[in-house]
Every structure is written in C-alpha cells, then in structure tokens.
Amino acid sequence: MLEYEASRPSYPPVLFDFVEEFLCRSLKGARAADIGAGRGIATALLHERRIGFARTRSCSIAHR
C-alpha cells in the first residue's frame, strides 16, 4: 500500500476553493459524505477544512 500512496497524487487545494466559490459559502462547518472513500485522501483534506463527514466504503453499502 505504501507504494500506491507514494504514487497517488493528492487533490489540489484549489479544488475545494472552487467548491466553496461555486456554493458561495465556506465549507467550514458543512457536512459531507465521502462515499467510496478508498484510502481517504479527500476525506483527510475535507477534515482539514473542518468539515463534518461520514466516510464509508462502497462495499459496506452494497452488503447491507
């Protein structure tokens, strides 16, 4: 897994800046669900912006 993580790029901060601009509001305090979060790259970045979130993997939903 470490090889994957080392080669997997993160999301640029401008992505979440764009989302805030599109929504005309700050993401701070927003709630989000990171569906199919995989390694949690986006989840960690959302958490840094103080977003409340629920992280789940798509397989856990499929088996319910």
Position 18 scores a pLDDT of 93
Tokens 């949690």, residue located: 40
Which residues share a beta bridge with 33?
54
User: Beta-carbon neighbour count of residue 27 at 10 Å?
Assistant: 16
Confidence of residue 64 (pLDDT cuts 50, 70, 90): very low
From CA 16, how far away is CA 45, in angstroms rounded? 9
| Predicted TM-score of the model (pTM) | 0.59
